Amino acid sequence: MKMIDDYKQKDVLVLGAGKSGTNAAKVLKELGANVTLNDAKDRSDLPELNEIEDLGIETITGGHPDDLLARHFDVLVKNPGIPYDNPVVAAAENKQIPIITEVELAAKITDAEIIGVTGSNGKTTTVTMIANILNQQRDKGTAFAAGNIGIPATEVAQKATKDDTIVLELSSFMLLGIKELHPHVAVLTNIFSNHLDYHKTRENYVNAKMRITMNQTADDFFVVNFDNEEWRNLSSKSNATVVPFSRESVTDKGAYERDGKLYYNDEFIMDADDIKVPGKQNVENALAAIATAKALGKSNLAITNVLETFKGVRHRLQFVLESDGRRFYNDSKATDIEATQIALEGFDKPIVLIAGGLDRGYTFDKLVPQLKEHVKAAVLYGETKELLEDAAKKAGVDDIQIVDTLAEAVPKAYADSDSGDIILLSPANASWDQFKTFEERGDKFVKEVENLTHKQEEAE
């Protein structure tokens, strides 16, 4: 870790605990800052605060007091999920207090090469693919995956050296809080209309995503999905060297698929069917990883060693197990319609779909074509079960089961399936009606599958 002086004797407010907040507070304390950590949760829900306070860090819990900024602070490090219209954040903006997120702090304290990956879907899988490829045939150093993937960027930055690489998954929320973060390679997987409750407009959301490339120069690389005109046009706003990737062969440069084969600048890399994880979306993720790896000089063998064996990331179209000819997949991370559309299009066998979750006030008509083409039966639960039922009926799905909980859905789905079918949890909704996180939802699905089949989840 670089012992920078930027925060020495500065008064810093860390807003929001959790993994990233508590680790940021520790790093700032080590850098000589006077740190205050504030979280809306009650102290009883934050057992990690004992360790924080032992380091001499002040803590304030149970809310974000409106008068918190009556005190002097030089910097605010904000949890990405806390919106900018939060009273404390708004007050900091009015006082022109610099507001950053934890990934910006991580970038300041490391000499490691940084690769940043953003997009609406596919970030975690792409990050993991890239990190795994970069660790192949590596003479020195290690590639670490961090950021929105669930590992605090500062935690990795503390141990990373100049010989290492940090592959950061960067959400739009994180990117709003960067100033100097400068990835050598920035990757844009795709952009749909997500998180508009936070960003208010699609334009704001797109602009947040594009901050990933704002500090890049011509010596850097901007890896962009060229399968959409909007995304192609966005690449012109970057100062970096653009490296396209395309599944629909709209480019003959960069990484692309043609006739079921994957190429980089007309060099054959591998057959698309040899990618271990299923689905067109994972071909796109693989192409993004190939473009990044080749831009950084990695060999074809390093790429194929990973992509031909990579089983996927937990909760992202993760293969769970096979029983009586049925293959179970956990796609709990599919928290929007687009992710479920992509998941359904990834299989060429009949699907029994388990879906449902938090009602955000929209219908599921966009899902009708994929339901019609791929789904033989649907088991629907949660707040949106009736809305999903309406879409399934429009799609002509004959076998529709309505239940209250995910635990009830798993045995119903099995009963509706035959040997050779796919049983897929791909909710098309956020998890918060019944679960705290999509991870908790996915873990519950896996547990219920194990209970039903009397088998254990296959190791990743």
Cα separation, 401 vs 421, in Å, equals 17
Cα separation, 49 vs 66, in Å, equals 22
Secondary structure of the chain in the HEC alphabet? CCCCCCCCCCEEEEECCHHHHHHHHHHHHHCCCEEEEEECCCHHHCCCHHHHHHCCCEEEECCCCCCHHHCCCCEEEECCCCCCCCHHHHHHHHCCCCEECHHHHHHHCCCCEEEEEECCCCHHHHHHHHHHHHCCCCCCCCEEEEECCCECHHHHHHHCCCCCEEEEECCHHHHCCCCCCCCCEEEECCCCCCCHHHHCCHHHHHHHHHHHHCCCCCCCEEEEECCCHHHHHHHHHCCCEEEEEECCCCCCCCEEEECCEEEECCEEEEEHHHCCCCCHHHHHHHHHHHHHHHHCCCCHHHHHHHHCCCCCECCECEEEEEECCEEEEECCCCCCHHHHHHHHHCCCCCEEEEECCCCCCCCCHHHHHHHHHHEEEEEECCCCHHHHHHHHHHCCCCEEEECCCHHHHHHHHHHCCCCCCEEEECCCCCCCCCCCCHHHHHHHHHHHHHHHHCCCCCCC
Cα separation, 15 vs 19, in Å, equals 12
Sign for the CA dihedral angle at 209, 212, 215, 219 comes to negative
Q: 378 CB contacts (<8 Å, ≥6 apart)?
A: 352, 353, 354, 355, 371, 388, 389, 392, 397, 399, 400, 401
Cα separation, 169 vs 151, in Å, equals 10
For the chain, how long is the longest CA-to-CA vector? 67
Residue 104 dihedral angles phi and psi, to the nearest 5°: -65, -40
294 is in an annotated binding site: no
Cα separation, 404 vs 55, in Å, equals 46
121 is in an annotated binding site: yes
124 is in an annotated binding site: yes
119 is in an annotated binding site: yes
Which residues sit in the known binding site?
119-125
Which residues sit in the known binding site for ATP?
119-125
